[in-house]
Structures are given as structure tokens and as C-alpha cells.
Structure 1
Amino acid sequence: MTFKPLTLYTTTRRGTSRRARRKKMGLPEPEQTPDYTNWSASQLLKRITDLETQLRNNRIVPVTDPSVTAALPPKKKQKKDRPFDASRYNTRHIALKFAYLGQRYNGFEHHTGNKTPLPTIEEELWKAFMKTRLIFPTRGADLKEGEIDWEGTDYSKCGRTDRGVSAFGQVIGIRVRSLQPMPKEQSVQEEEQGDKMQGIEGNAKEQGSKEDKKPESKPWDHIRDELPYIQLLNRVLPEDIRMLAWCPTPPTDFNARFNCRERRYRYFFTSPAFAPVPGDAGLLTTATGKTLREGYLDIEAMRDAAKRYEGLHDFRNFCKVDPAKQISNFERRIFKASIEEVDVSQAPAGFISHPAFAQSVGAKNQMGGQGDMSIPKIYTFDVNGSAFLWHQVRHLVAVLFLVGQGFEPPSIISDLLDMEKYPTRPKYEMATDAPLVLWDCIFPDHEDIDQSREDAMEWVYVGETGGRETNKRPEMDGGDSKFGKGGIMDSIWDVWHKRKIDEILAGSLMDIVAAQGKRSPADVKLAPVAERSPRLFDGGDWPRPVGTYVPIARKQRMEPVEVVNARYLERKGPYQPKFMRKEDGDE
């Protein structure tokens, strides 16, 4: 059956062109009408039905000719990644040093089955390792979505920071995929050289094809010729978690926790700690008889108190007891405890004071001198020790703040370390989490704590040979994986700059509000401090009103550790966490 092309006719008023009428009605021009001769009966019936509907709605839309559509080439199927064959690769045990800002995370450690409101650092690490296919867990193929099991990866971690706590020198040990040639399989190695980034997304997938092949006669170098672990992981990690270095030769049977002989923490704070009150109404008398303005901290008294932490002591009055660990020995050794003023010409972002970053040739960077660029001043409580109990550092800082505000004398530290005077801990609040940083982890080549505690690990840092991508040529590509295009410094600067602008804006707002109005700060009249509710600084963003301050000596005491442990055993039974030594607590 042959059909003639369907033509639509309409009646128009005299003087009105047919073309204008067709355009007004939304009808297609004759040259736009499809060739209906190749259409099937069902297609024609459907088209007529559509046209009737469109005429009722006073519009007609163009239609694609099915004969033309059928002639189009089929769409190409998306190329699927080849199955990843782990047996083709060697593995090696390495150590990784990395940093993270902890305020967006629910602490470092992940616990299976324990859902948290925020992700943990370990969850992000696991996703990065699996996405880059750098690890081959024993149960890899059987793991459910969201499940984490490090078995088969020789995984170990140095410190378990709490929710909100940051780290700039965290260390893990782990067994990862390597480019080291398999024994008697040089031909396979040549093939791998072309697609060694198999399974890695984004730019990492192109890494192998761009890299020059090495001559067969050249021996494989375990640093220079290895996978760029730092860059592979940083590509897929969140911007506030950055890999900094890797150690290709950790000690035999390396365990990041038990091989670490010293952990170094820093707790940042300012003085004034909160907005001070002007005039005579803001002055108070401290526990040592000094006159101090409310909001400021007595730094010298804090230094006296901090020094008393040093040495081997029982710190049960400076921690939170975890009965699940059944810890009975609370002795820990503190190598150093001090209050240090931050030189704002050197930190933060003080690296630009180096002559290499001068604004122009022959120019000198004007960074200012010690203490003249930061009002209020910035300080840190630096504490280095062999190991720490659960929340120990935040308890140490909390008592220092009580001393600094004049609520307690420095001698309270010595008293709390005396088990005869204080066999149980008084109830006081620990300091807040955000300003605390696990600054570094030290791995000496000996176990004697009286010898030098210098780190003996041979770290390869980002930007060094083995710490950058081998296809990156700084003179050609504009970056060496540390500075320049695509370097780690660019990504960290981005994180810093956002927060720095927030600081500048908030600080400018305070100055504007303080200067507004006709009264000067000297004209402010408030009740004396003694007649107002005191405010207690705990490291947070604002002080807490405490009513009448109760000295530590008169505070209610916690139950003895032995009672807490016994009650837990009676309810839960004995429990020994995996890889947990009985004498080790939770940092």
C-alpha cells in the first residue's frame, strides 16, 4: 500500500499569506515535512493521532524521520575497566606520614558496626586505598558496601586521635601494591609499565602511558621507579587529608604504634583567651596574689605549672578511665612540657618569609618581628611523651587554663600527681578538642629512652625523588608535586586561605563594633569581677559562666579506678581489644 505525503490545508482570510498563517499556527513548512512513504502503517496511525492532538493545542512539533534514525550508527558502548588481577603485582610494606584537620571527622579510628554522625579518618583512608587499588585485603571480594577489614594488609596506626583533633605527623604502616618486577617475569613488567595505573581514576589512569620506559638493563630502583604513592592517594582523599611522605624501608615487623617511642602534641590558644572587660571592672586577683585582667592568661604561672608534668608520674588524675581496657598502670613518662609563644613571622604560613619567595628580584619580605603581628598573641602547650592515656592531653591543658586564669596556683599540678593527696580524680571538665594537634610521631632506632630521641625513619617527602611523579618535569610542567601547578602546597593554601579570610573578616568586625558609639572603652562601667559570675576558659570559642568557682581541692571525687574496672568486668566480662597491650591506653 502506497501513501502520498500528508499535506495540511487551512482556510485563511483574504490578504493573509498561507505561510504567515502556517507560522502562526505552529505548522511545519512543506520542506520540513517528513517523507512518509517509508513509514509503516502503525507509525502513520501514531503520527496522525499526534497531529490531531497538536492541532487541538494549536501547535505542531517537528518529528524525526524513523527511516533516518534507523540509518544512524549505534552508540558506542562504554569501555569497561578490565578485571584487576592482583596476582600480577608485587607488594611491599611501607610507612606513610600524613596530616589532617580533624574538625570534620569523628576521630581517627573506625569501629565496625558503630555508626557515627561524621566520617572517620580511617574510613577516608580505606576508600582511598581501595579506589587506587593499592591494597589487597584478604576479604576484599566478600566485603559489603561500607565494610572495612584491614586483614591481609599488615595495617598499623600510631595514634588514635579523638573527634575534632587534628594531626600533622600521623603515621601508619601498610602493605601496598608495588611496581617491583615479579621474579623471572621481566616481560610482564614491561607490559605493566604501560598500564601500571590500572584501576586508578582520573589523571592517575594516564600516568603509566606518559611515563618513559626504562631500559631493560637498568636495575629497578625501589624509590625512584616505584609508584607515586603520595600523589595517587592525595588525588582521591578529601582536601583536608594530605599524604606528606612515605618510608620505603621501615624496620622488620614494623608496627606504627609499638615502634613509636615518642608522640608530640601541641595545643594552640591565645591570650587574651576571650574578649577582656575594659577599665577597673575587668581586673581580678589571682590565686597567687597577682592582678590580672579578666580574659588574659598568666603565662609565667602556666609555664611553672607545665614544667611539673615532666618525668615519670601516675597520671590517673589527668585522664578519662576506659574500663574496657582494664588499665591498672597509669604511669607515663613526659619528656617535655612547656608553654611556647608562636613567632608569627614564622608561623602560620611563615614559609613565604624565605628569600626565595621575595615579592621581586632583590626585594626583602617584610614579615615583622616577634610578637608584633598578632594581637592577641598565640601560644602553644607543647607536650612530648612516650605514650598517653585516654584524653590525657586535654586534661593536662584544662588544669593549666585554671592556673592561667588565676583560679588555681601552679602547685595544684604537683598535688594532683601525688596519689596520697589525690588517690582519685576530682571532677573537672577537660579542654575542648579543636585546638589539639598530634604534631609528630618519633621512631628512633633504639629502645633506650635516655638516648637521643631523633627519628631514624628514612622518609621520602613530597617533591623529592620518589616523592613526585616521574613524568612531572618542573621546568616543563610548572610543578614538582610540591610547589607550582598541581602541587600539594596549592591545595593546602586553598584550605588555609578560606579560613584566613574568615579570621580577617571576624577580626575587622570586632574592631568596628568596639569603636562605634560615643563612649570610649575607658568610660565603660561594669560591676567588679568579684561581684560578677566568673567565666572559665576551656580552649573553646567562648568562656563558660561557672557561677561561684569551686577550687579543685573541694570538688567531688570520681570513683577509684579499681571500682570502675571491677564493675565493668561484672557486667561485660573480660575484653582485650585487638593489638592492644594491657599497659597501653588510648591517646
Structure 2
Amino acid sequence: MSKEELHAKLEKIKKKNAQLSDQISQMKVKLAQSGLENEEEPLAKKKKKTQKGEKEQNDQIFRKRKIALRFSYDGTKYNGLQRSPVPAGKTTIEDVIFDAMLRTKVVDDIGTADYIAGGRTDKGVHAVNNVISLFVNSRLSEDEINENVTVGERNFVAIINRQLPDDIWITSWAQISSDFSARFNCKSRHYNYIFDSSGLDVELMKEAASYLIGEHDFRNFSQAQLERQNTVRVCFAADIKQVPNMSSMCVFSIKASGFLYHQIRLTMAILALVGNKLEKSTIVKELLDVEKYPRRPSYKYANPDGLVLIDCEYENVEWIDGEDQSRFLASKIENKMYNMKIGLSVHELIKKTLDIGKDTDEPHRKITGIAAKKGCHKPVLDYHPSPNANDLLLKSQNKTKN
């Protein structure tokens, strides 16, 4: 089976499962609301009373228009962004957002809404300006929609936000063309990885990060996928800076034309080992040499908690903020920050009261999770090589032949 036939078969399977996936998304959220799912999962609580602005759902005949929604989230309690057509037992960001849109009649059916996300984030990863494009129900006329009118349109931001929990926020929307794709029209994506630099040589890490800039084959900084045979990307910027007003906290900032699966977390693992002086900064150059190293050494990727999708960049997209949403969103975010400060103070009090000594782990471990004893580091280039994308393709073709 050729590469093109594999892609066609994959798309056919995705479309076939779309309707089932809608039902699963709603069922998972309902289970969470009923308390049958893990109590730690965030809930999008149902509103018994009709919300302001929702009466229009029953009074008007809606027409379809394609829009982009920009949204942010704290991904700590979610099983990643993307919903799955197969029940995973855990709620995702899309499960909650889609449930809110279905209940407010922003959409009638997710499976036919032609939705796609600008950036797919894993379990525990966060976002500030992620984007979804999809067809929604508009209250404007066909002529107004064709003329890209936005005045008098439904307040999509406020309507959806009223149904969302405190860790997911819709921030703005934009009118887009019917062929616009949040994924394929994205010109660049920008990620930050926030970490505690205590015990790490940040200057060495900055030197290593600088080697990432430019057009490279990043296969050795990613987990291979069958559907991603092209592993060349352009990195526009990569640097490490201190977080303002937080002495030991730093952020690895990277902006590129696109990213491969687990690319930033695998990159951060390498940078942390460099900062711990367990690898030289030139390890980045070595891994970018795919002629010498055609397969990625199977080193572990960094933990997800510090990773944040900062922005998805598009051309000629004008974002519209939701009316009166600034104060509403500020309240939700500040409440979360207050609770986190209380939690931090409680843990500091516990540590002080119990007179607990300092952590003796290698500084990189909080980032990489690698539990090797001091003095027992295994060089990255000595790890067993993992299959690359071409290996996966050949394996798939051999299965088809057999």
C-alpha cells in the first residue's frame, strides 16, 4: 500500500468515527458531572436555568458560518487536548469544549463541523492561544455571512464560557474563509517550557538551544509517527531566559514552522542534561546529524507540567474579543492563582515544620524524570536506537503484503 493510499485510508477511518466520537465526548462529560468518573477530573457543570442569550437557540433559524476560536487552558487535570473516538476513561479539553458548544447550540454536530485544532497538546500540557476552526450556527443572514459581517453576531465567547469550568477559557473568535484550517494555515507555533534552573548551568543550555535555529531534520528530537514521514522543520528562534520576579525559574522559548510529536519535551530533556553537565552542548549538533544518527536514541522525554503552547500565528486573521469577558476571565484566573499560592504556602509550612532536608536528586531529574544515580549517567548516544518514520512505513507495507 502506497503512502497516499495509507493517508486516504486514515482519513476515511477518521470520518467514519466522527459521529461516534461526538457521542463519546458527551457521555464522558456527563459521567464526570454525575460523579461517576474520577472526582479529580474537572467538570463542566450543567446550568438548570436558561442563561442570558441562550433563548435565541429556540427562537431563530441558524445558518452556518466558519469561524476560528482562540482558547486557553490549564491542562493539569485533562487527558490532553484531543478527543478520542475510542473511550479512554479520561476527559479531554475538546470533550469539555464540544459538550459546551453542543448544549448551547453553537454547533449541532461536531462530526460534521469540519473542526481542527492549531496545536495538539498532550496530557498535562497547557495553552494560552490555541485555536480551533469549525462551522458554527450563526444568527446572521446568508448575505451578511458572505460579506464577512461580524456586527450583530452571536457572542460566541460569552455563550461558551458560561458553560466551561474554571481551567478552560475561550478568549476570542474570528471570521475565516470556508477553506481555512487552524492546523494547515498556521504559519508558526510558539511554545514555552518553564522550569526550575536551580543547579543547572543555564548558559550551557542557551548555547545548546542556539544550535536548534534554522532548517533541520528533527527526527532525533521526536517520537516517530507513520503519518509524519517529513521530519524537516524550520526553527525561527530558540532561547532560555529568566522568568521575571522569580529568581530560579527560567523558560525555554522556541518558535518554529511546526513541531513533531513530543519534539519540545524531548528537546528539553537534552537541554536539562546539558545544564546538569552530563552532556556537552554539542550533543544537539550530533543529534541533528541524521546521516550519522538516522534513528533517535531512545532517551526519555521531559515531564509535561512546564510546557505551554503560547501562540499559533496566522495571516490576515482579525480576532474579536467577547463583550464584557475581560473581567470575567480575570476573575477565573486570579481565583486559580490565589488557590495555588495557598497550596504553595501550605507545602512550605509542612516542609519547615517537619524540618525536611534538601532534595539530593540530580537537578535535571525534576525535568527529565530520569532516575539514574549520581555518577551513573548513560550517554544519550549510547541509548538503543528507536524506529524512525521510514521504519514504521516499511513495517506497515510488509504487514499489508502479508
- Give TM-score scaled by structure 1 length: 0.55
Amino acid aligned to 1:235: R
CA distance 1:89–1:392, change in 2 (3 Å): same
Assess, with a 3 A threshold, how the Cα gap between structure 1 residues 88 and 117 changes in structure 2: closer, same or farther. closer
Q: Which runs of 5+ in 1 are unaligned?
A: 1-77, 138-148, 185-219, 273-295, 345-373, 445-455, 462-466, 469-479, 522-531, 574-587
Considering fraction of residues, name the structure with more helix: 2
Mark the runs of 5 or more structure 2 residues left unpaired by the alignment: 1-48
Deviation at 1:533, TM superposition (A): 8.6
Distance 1:572 1:408 in 2: 41
Distance 1:84-1:339 versus aligned 2 partners, 3 A rule: closer
Post-superposition Cα deviations, 1:312-332, rounded to whole Å, max 9, x if no partner, equal 001111110123x1x332111
Task: Deviation per CA, 1:458-508: give whole Å up to 9, x if none.
Answer: 1112xxxxx21xxxxxxxxxxx3322xxx2211121122111211122234
What residue in structure 2 maps to residue 68 of structure 1?
A: none
Inter-CA distance 563–82: structure 2 relative to 1 (3 Å threshold): closer
Aligned CA distance change for structure 1 residues 534 and 231 (closer, same or farther; 3 Å): closer
The aligned residue for residue 244 of structure 2 is 343
Q: TM-score scaled by structure 2?
A: 0.78
Indicate which of 84, 87, 94 corresponds to 1:111: 84
Equivalent residue for 1:150, pick from 103, 111, 121: 111
Residue matched to 1:576: none
Quote the residue 1:491 is aligned against: 332
The aligned amino acid for 2:187 is R
- Residue 309 of structure 2 corresponds to residue 438 of structure 1: yes
**What secondary structure, in the 3-state scheme, does the structure 2 residue paired with 1:482 have?**
helix
Deviations 1:435-467 (A, max 9, x none): 1111110002xxxxxxxxxxx421112xxxxx2
Q: What is the CA distance between 1:511 and its match in structure 2?
A: 4.4
Structure 2: how far apart are the matches of 1:533 and 1:233? 44
- Identity between Structure 1 and Structure 2 (%): 30
Higher relative contact order (CA 8 A, sep 6+): 2
Q: Does 1:244 align with 2:244?
A: no
Corresponding position of 1:482: 326
Deviations along 1:25-64, whole A, 9 cap, x unmatched?
xxxxxxxxxxxxxxxxxxxxxxxxxxxxxxxxxxxxxxxx
Contact 1:536 1:544 in 2 (8 A): no
Distance 2:99 2:367 in 1: 33
- Return the match for 1:319 from 209, 222, 236: 222
Shift in Å at residue 92 of structure 1? 2.0
Distance apart, 1:120 and its partner CA? 1.2
Partners of 2:224 and 2:388 within 8 A in 1: no
Q: Tell me if the contact between 2:117 and 2:182 (Cα under 8 Å) persists in the aligned partners.
A: yes
The superposition leaves residues 253-280 of structure 1 with CA deviations (integer Å, 9 ceiling, x where unpaired) of 21111110100001010121xxxxxxxx
Change in 2 beyond 3 A, CA 1:136/1:269: same
1:549 aligns with 2:377: yes
Instruction: Answer with 1 or 2: which has the greater Rg.
Output: 1
Q: Where has structure 1 moved over 3 Å in runs of 4 or more?
A: 81-87, 181-184, 220-224, 508-516, 532-536
Cα distance in structure 2, aligned partners of 1:401 and 1:121: 29
Q: Give the direction of change, closer, same or farther, for the CA distance of 1:562–1:488 in structure 2 (3 Å limit).
A: closer
Q: Distance in 1 between matches of 2:312 and 2:189?
A: 5
Residue 161 of structure 1 is aligned with which of 121, 127, 152? 121
Q: 1:251 to 1:90 in 2, by over 3 A?
A: closer
The 1-side partners of 2:309 and 2:361 are apart by 35
- 8 Å CA contact 1:89–1:177 kept in 2: the answer is yes
Alpha-carbon distance in 2 for matches of 1:559, 1:133: 45
- The answer to whether the 8 Å contact 1:262/1:386 transfers is yes
* Contact 1:401/1:538, CA 8 A, preserved across alignment: no
Q: Deviation of residue 94 (structure 1)?
A: 1.2
Inter-CA distance 511–545: structure 2 relative to 1 (3 Å threshold): farther
User: More deviation in 231-240 or 251-260?
Assistant: 251-260
What SS does structure 1 have at the residue aligned with 2:241? strand
